[in-house]
Chains A and B, each alone.
Chain A
């Protein structure tokens, strides 16, 4: 009964390939986020969306694009994957829009770019 799901969970791809990571949520939240996690660097924000019509770049958006297909779905694309995009990618949601908001995370997608 996971509230935030991500597919695939693991992916190996080659340099130059296009890849899409998908995120779905059943929490009914408007806000969705994509992060990447690298060892020693914590989580860094790639893109975020406050609703279906509102998408914003985070701190490391270069090389990535996103699509908010519906309130429940937020996809992350790597148009032409490169090895330094090898990382663990997390999708997250939140509802309140306040600074005290709790974020709810998916299980992560482990991506390896060869």
Chain B
């Protein structure tokens, strides 16, 4: 069965620290991968997505993610976090059907 794993449920960083949130998926075929973000009190919104081409995908607000097929991973990165990045981050997978599968989410708290 297809699944998405996010290893860290909670991450606490200081401002200007580098961020990497892990995401691994289980599926052997073609994948479409997403990172969504939910800021406090706001809707979930798309941060970035990968479906083909360059495995390094750049999104909004300085975020990027790298698709590594051999590792079944799609980790989210940001070189220097800000207090405003405090949010919950969801990795998601679509393998071509009607359904997008979401990971459990990672809550990021950035200390000012």
Contacts and interface: CB of A to CB of B under 8 A. Distances in A.
Interface of B: 4, 6, 9, 32, 34, 36, 42-46, 49, 51, 90, 94-100, 102-105
Q: Is the interface of B mostly helix, strand, loop or mixed?
A: loop
Contacts, number: 53
Interface of A: 2, 4, 35, 40-45, 48, 50, 56, 58-59, 90, 92, 99-108
Contacts of A90: 44
Given A40-B9, A99-B32, A99-B51, A45 B46 contact: no
The winner among B36, B96, B98 for most chain A CB atoms within 10 A is B98
User: Nearest 9 A-B pairs (CB), nearest first?
Assistant: A105-B44, A43-B102, A42-B102, A100-B51, A42-B104, A99-B94, A99-B32, A99-B96, A105-B43
Contacts of B95: 99
